[in-house]
Structure 1
């Protein structure tokens, strides 16, 4: 799949350039390849090209993909990044390495209760609705500290940081504003004693703005795999 391999390299170069502009080490930014709606074969090809972290939004599709790629389990890291209903937390707790979309304490509590004892702690991020969009999940910025502290206290979970999906905006300067809100909140929580290390922000259209504002993980789908056909 030469296009996919070319796209992966192009995204890595975008990250490196943005990090250079920001005076950051590109190795401080993890690329999460968002493989939702794309087949397991595409994930396998990206993995063969050196990509090891993959994000999925839709649980049933993801579970089918995890089964198809079970032979890669030791060298692939699965991140659940979509909205998560409380009645669907068990398979996520049992089979994923990360959850980025914890938007209320009840979800975190269920993940903690359902994480198998033999597995490492489940890495989680609290999702923050930095743009205040009614259609977006996430806690309000003013509530994030309270939720984060409660999540951090739960057993079998490891609170890693914050995640956001800012409203799409045109210019890079405009794009930086909501990412800055998340970074400043992240820095405040760290100053208050929470051991956070992950800022999950930035997608195909605003990768550069996110890296300039301190993203440690960018979630890239379209720029790697191509346009999605949701009807399929």
Structure 2
């Protein structure tokens, strides 16, 4: 068995792995234990009572975190003419059409999220095998295929987080940094949980949110008492 380092051992102290904590206490414990040499991301894992193999139980959406993510998000926009100029004015990091498709096909991916105008999707569709596995393929359901590129860019840079349930029925998302105040992290995690609740699919039966845990990049997970979350 691998030896557990002193920092990790110290981070685990005071956390009962079999206990669930009130949401505010869980966030506080995670923040206190984010002691790595970099500003760790605070992450949320939500175990849902769905089977995403069935189309009517798929959960996906987008949540604009009220206090942002703490990340510098690089945005690429597929657009032409006036929409391309609008994207540049709104702060897009990369804007292009055919030439940008060629760069991405060649393996050059210098961005974190992708936005496209509807007329560009036949072109962007060629990149499905490249962008799809990275979770970057534009989709109208999460607002990344839109004629309003300025709003989409502002949302992406201002704290928009996309979420999609994995095969095991779990939604993962980063909701800020340990350097955030506890209050800011709480507002963000509540916004995400609310967005996932609103995205409940028609095919979901029984208990929808089964378990929630909060952690930092290098810290231990802390289980959340679902009774402390409004709506559960």
State the TM-score, normalizing by the size of structure 1. 0.29
Larger relative contact order, structure 1 or 2 (CA cutoff 8 Å, min sep 6): 2
Higher helix share: 1
Bigger Rg over Cα: 2
